Amino acid sequence: MRARRVRALLMGGQACVLYGAAEFSRDTDFAILASADNLDRLRKALGDLRAVAIAVPPLTAAYLRRGHAVHFRCRHPDAAGMRIDVMSRMRGVDAFTHLWKRRTTIELTDRTMCDLLSLPDLVQAKKTQRDRDWPMIRRLLEASYFEHRAKPTAALVRFWLRELRTPALLVEVAGTYAGACRRLIARRPLLALAASGRVDDLERGLAAEEAEERARDRQYWTPLRRELERLRHAKPV
């Protein structure tokens, strides 16, 4: 991707590993810019990887901009069997140009540079109807908190208050940063429960919050799944 200058941000399970919340993943997921030039560069990168499409829809800007994922399987010996999924639009996530400005760039052990979704953007992208995503959100926030709690920035404190899903840690942050907590209660009402230390009620509030996000994701994907079904039935055997 970097050799072909593709505007792409690593997300999904591989990004979670790099943020310290280990997850086994056979897929490599990217958020990409769905411009004509960038899609041309992406096609060249996929060609280098000898990647073939394994499902509908086809790789076009129109499908990506509607929120579909496009799926490939690599045949290059160095990446044999690797699945690559690319998306451009995700529910509740900002446009790619904003994601790119907020990206995290890290150096891997082999000195390869890697661009990732920022941690807040990755957390937002993980708010799906899939069971495996919610424990991962919790681990991502816990990893962030334990790494930075000694000297957090104001932005990190706000991030923890908006997104933490571990009741004990949310109570701890709400008590330590009471002023920031009060300012965010209108945005996340269950922070009032965290501030008062009502752990049982807080657990129920977190469950309700998750259920609401899952329902929104199901609603978002309903028309997209219908479109995929039409494409599958229309595809030649």
- Domain extents in the chain: 8-125, 133-220
CB 19 within 8 A of CB 103: no
**Rounded average pLDDT over 104-118:** 94
Centroid of chain to Cα 207: 20
Q: Tell me how far apart the alpha carbons of residues 124 and 170 are, in angstroms, rounded to a whole number.
A: 18
**Which DSSP category does 23 fall into?**
-
- Indicate if the alpha-carbon torsion angle 41, 45, 48, 50 is positive or negative: negative
Centroid of chain to Cα 13: 9
pLDDT class of 90 with cuts at 50, 70, 90: very high
pLDDT at 40 exceeding the cut of 70: yes
pLDDT computed for residue 22 by the predictor: 72
pLDDT computed for residue 21 by the predictor: 84
Q: Tell me how far apart the alpha carbons of residues 16 and 137 are, in angstroms, rounded to a whole number.
A: 9
Residues sharing a CB contact under 8 Å with residue 66, sequence separation 6 or more, in sequence order: 89, 224, 227
- Indicate if the alpha-carbon torsion angle 89, 24, 39, 229 is positive or negative: negative
CATH code for the domain defined by 8-125: 3.10.450
Question: Which tokens is 175 given?
Answer: 């008590």
φ, ψ for residue 85 (rounded to 5)?
Answer: -115, 135
pLDDT at 237 exceeding the cut of 70: no
Measured in residues, the chain has a length of 237
**What are the helix (H) ranges across the chain?**
12-18, 36-48, 61-66, 96-101, 119-125, 133-148, 154-163, 167-176, 178-184, 191-195, 199-234
The pTM of this model reads: 0.94
For residue range 181-210, list pLDDT tens digits in order. 999 999 999 999 999 999 999 999 999 999
- Indicate if the alpha-carbon torsion angle 116, 118, 123, 129 is positive or negative: negative
pLDDT computed for residue 160 by the predictor: 98
The closest of 37, 13, 38 to 27, measured between CA atoms, is 13
